[in-house]
């Protein structure tokens, strides 16, 4: 992978990044690097997302090194200092049937960024196969990526809590989704990307220790402390 240029030459280097998900039991994640895939175009960078990261919108959109770094991050050709990518493991229901073999099949948690407003997880979608991809190829079609990018911004804009896309790229690789089309990647931000399926996975495995660790982690994500009981966390989640 490429090395990140000096801080004075790159606005991304000022971010403080870690990955506390790796402190959770290994049954909840697998380390996984993104697959290299050359970027054709950086389609958009979200001003709203940049403001969440306390980055100057105008500076970054016109900063040659900054734009190049973001494209390389989408391409799987660079990681920012502190990033330690992983795929999350969870369970869920597909077509009404419980499935405990699933997880992030084409998404990776790159790391979490410390901001004055709280931590923000940075997720890369479409970066290739993971251990939980099953029969999927791990890629994301451009049409689906554009829909996700626009709808997520619309939901966020009207006050419905959701992940907020940071940037969207299309790639040189072509994939087949009912027709041949360009592949794409989306990087998104959220205080947490935890799913109901994480709890379903731990419950299916009978892991009380894992459940306690996950609840403590999520309490920290949302600034609520890590000493809530399972019952308190459930009631609080319903209220939210």
Query: What's the Cα-to-Cα distance from 183 to each of 84, 129, 218, rounded to whole Å?
Result: 24, 13, 32
Q: Tell me the per-residue pLDDT of 195-229, one tens digit each, with 9 for 90 and over.
A: 999 999 999 999 999 999 999 888 867 666 667 77
Q: Looking at the predicted structure, is the pLDDT value of residue 2 above 80?
A: no
Residue environment code for 11-42, b if the CB has 16+ CB neighbours within 10 A, otherwise e: bbbebebebebeebeeebbeebebbebebbeb
Q: Looking at the predicted structure, is the pLDDT value of residue 62 above 90?
A: no
Q: Residues with Cβ < 8 Å from 182, sequence gap 6 or more?
A: 40, 141, 142, 170, 171, 173, 174, 175
Are the C-beta atoms of 130 and 103 separated by less than 8 Å?
yes
Question: What was the pLDDT predicted at 118?
Answer: 86
Overall average pLDDT of the 162-191 stretch: 96
Question: What was the pLDDT predicted at 218?
Answer: 87
Overall average pLDDT of the 9-37 stretch: 94
Kindly state the tokens that stand for 155.
């939901």
Q: Tell me the per-residue pLDDT of 92-151, one tens digit each, with 9 for 90 and over.
A: 998 899 999 999 999 999 999 999 888 999 999 999 999 999 989 999 999 999 999 999
Overall average pLDDT of the 73-95 stretch: 95
Question: What was the pLDDT predicted at 74?
Answer: 98
Band of the pLDDT at 231, cuts 50, 70, 90? confident
Band of the pLDDT at 8, cuts 50, 70, 90? low
The DSSP annotation for 17-49 comes to EE-GGGGS-GGGEEE-PPPP--EEEEEEE-HHH
Paired residues of 124 in beta bridges: 108, 187
pTM: 0.93
118 membership: H or E segment, kind and range: strand 118-125
């Amino acid at each position: 992978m490429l090395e990140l240029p000096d801080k004075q030459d790159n606005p991304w280097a000022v971010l403080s990044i870690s990955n506390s998900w790796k402190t959770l039991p290994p049954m909840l994640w697998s380390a996984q690097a993104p697959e290299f895939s050359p970027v054709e175009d950086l389609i958009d960078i979200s001003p709203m997302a940049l403001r969440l990261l306390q980055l100057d919108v105008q500076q970054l959109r016109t900063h040659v090194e900054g734009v190049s770094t973001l494209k390389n991050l989408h391409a799987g050709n660079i990681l920012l200092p502190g990033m330690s990518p992983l795929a999350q493991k969870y369970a869920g229901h597909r077509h009404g049937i419980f499935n405990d073999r699933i997880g992030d099949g084409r998404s990776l948690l790159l790391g979490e960024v410390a901001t004055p407003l709280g931590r923000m997880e940075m997720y890369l979608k479409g970066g290739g196969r993971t251990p939980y991809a099953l029969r999927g190829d791990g890629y994301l079609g451009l049409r689906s990526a554009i829909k996700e990018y626009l709808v997520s911004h619309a939901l966020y804009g009207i006050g419905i809590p959701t992940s907020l896309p940071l940037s969207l790229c299309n790639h040189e690789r072509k994939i087949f989704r009912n027709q041949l089309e360009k592949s794409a990647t989306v990087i998104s931000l959220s205080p947490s990307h935890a799913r109901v399926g994480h709890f379903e996975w731990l419950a299916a495995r009978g892991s009380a220790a894992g459940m306690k660790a996950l609840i403590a982690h999520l309490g920290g994500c949302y600034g609520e402390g890590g000493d809530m009981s399972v019952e308190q966390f459930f009631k609080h989640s319903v209220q939210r």
